[in-house]
Amino acid sequence: MSKLSVYIIAFNEEEKIKQALKSVEWADEIIVADSFSTDDTATIAARFGAKVIQIPFNGFGELRNKAIKACSHEWIFSLDSDERCTEKACREIKQIMASKDSLDAYYVPRRNYFMGKWIRHAGFYPDFRQPQLFRKGVLKFKNDAVHERYEVISHKPSGYLKSFINQIPFKDLEEVIHKTNRYSTLGAQKLQETNKKSGMSKALLHGLWAAFTLYVLKLGFLDGWPGFIIALGNFEGTFYKYAKFYLRDKDLYAFLNTKFPDG
C-alpha cells in the first residue's frame, strides 16, 4: 500500500504548528521545514514526532523544493502551518492513494477563517493554491520569492478534492500587518527580477485595483467587516509591493548614507 509524507513549512509558528501537526498525525511521515525559527516551533514539532529540517529562507519556491526532496514516500501532501486537514479530506486522500485510477496531482479547496468567520467571498473559497496532494517527482517550483510558480510534470490532468481543509491565515490584525509587510517586501524582490517599469502612480493604481477586485468584483463586501479588512490589507500589500519596488529601482534607499549639510 502507498505511503504518505506530509511537509509543513514554518517560521515562528509556535501558536499554530501543534494544531497543524495534530490534523495530519495519521500520515506515515511528517516533515517540518523550518527556517531557523527563534521561538519554540522546531521544539514543538520534534516533540510531536515530526522530522525537523532547517532550511535557510531564500524564497518560498526554493523552500518548497527542498522540503519535497526531504520527503521519503510516494505520495506527498503539502500543509502550511496555518492550515488544518479535516477528517473528510483525510478519508478522501486515503481513497485516492488506494485507487489504481488516481491522478498524479490534486488541488485542495480551503476554507479560510478570519475574525471568527468563514470568508466565503473575495476569492477566499475554494481558494485553490498549487496542488497540495501529489506523487513525488510530479511537482516542481520555480525559485520565486513569493507566490511561487510551479510545474506539474505529468501527462495526466490534475484533479480536485471534494473535501476542504481549513485555514486561519490571520490570527489577529497584527498578523495582517506583519504579513502585509513581509509579503510586500518579497513581492518587490520578485518584481525586481522582471523588466517592468516602476512608479508610484503604478503602485497606487495596482493597490486600488487589487482592493476593488476583492471587495466589489469578488463580492468581499458580503463578508462584512472581515471582508473590508481583507480588501484594505490587499490594497496595502499591493501598494507597498510596488512602492518598495520603486524605491529599490530608483535606489532611493541610498539617501540613508547621505551626508546632510549642518546649516
- In tens, the pLDDT along 41-58 reads 999 999 999 999 999 999
Q: Do 151 and 26 share a structural domain?
A: yes
Report the length, in residues, of the chain: 263
Q: By three-state DSSP, how is residue 156 classified? A: coil
Question: How many percent of the chain have pLDDT more than 90?
Answer: 90
Whole-number pLDDT of residue 263: 60
pLDDT for residue 4 is more than 70 = yes
Domain that holds residue 135: 4-167
Which of 167, 196, 212 terminates a domain? The answer is 167
Nearest to 191 by CA among 234, 248, 233: 248
Condensed to tens digits (0 to 9), the pLDDT of residues 161-178 reads 999 999 999 989 999 999
Q: Do 213 and 178 share a structural domain?
A: yes
Whole-number pLDDT of residue 92: 98
Q: Do 51 and 26 share a structural domain?
A: yes
CA 262 to chain centre: 48
- Total structural domains within the chain: 2
Specify the pairing of strand 117-118 against strand 133-135.
unpaired
Q: Do 30 and 90 share a structural domain?
A: yes
Q: Do 93 and 9 share a structural domain?
A: yes
Residue 254, Cβ density class (10 Å: 0-12 exposed, 13-18 middle, ≥19 buried): exposed
In order of 78, 160, 181, 228, the CA distances from 20 in angstroms are 11, 21, 24, 27
DSSP 216: I
Burial per residue of 11-34, b for 16 or more beta-carbon CB atoms within 10 angstroms, e otherwise:
bbbbebbbebbebbeebebbbbbb
Q: Are 140 and 65 in contact (CB under 8 A)?
A: yes
pLDDT for residue 185 is more than 90 = yes
Residue 102: phi and psi, rounded to 5, are: -70, 150
Q: Are 39 and 48 in contact (CB under 8 A)?
A: no
Condensed to tens digits (0 to 9), the pLDDT of residues 102-132 reads 999 999 999 999 999 999 999 999 999 899 9
Q: How far apart are CA 153 and CA 140, in angstroms?
A: 8
Helix axes 224-249, 173-192, angle to 10 degrees: 30
Q: Do 217 and 140 share a structural domain?
A: no
Q: Do 179 and 229 share a structural domain?
A: yes
Q: How far apart are CA 16 and CA 39, in angstroms?
A: 12
Q: Are 42 and 32 in contact (CB under 8 A)?
A: yes
Here the CATH number for the domain that contains residue 40 is: 3.90.550.10
- CB count within 10 Å of CB 41 equals 25
Q: How far apart are CA 10 and CA 16, in angstroms?
A: 9
Residue 194: phi and psi, rounded to 5, are: -100, 180
Q: Do 227 and 140 share a structural domain?
A: no
Burial per residue of 160-178, b for 16 or more beta-carbon CB atoms within 10 angstroms, e otherwise:
ebebbbbbbbbeeeeebee
Residue 256's pLDDT band, with cuts at 50, 70 and 90, is low
Q: Do 197 and 83 share a structural domain?
A: no
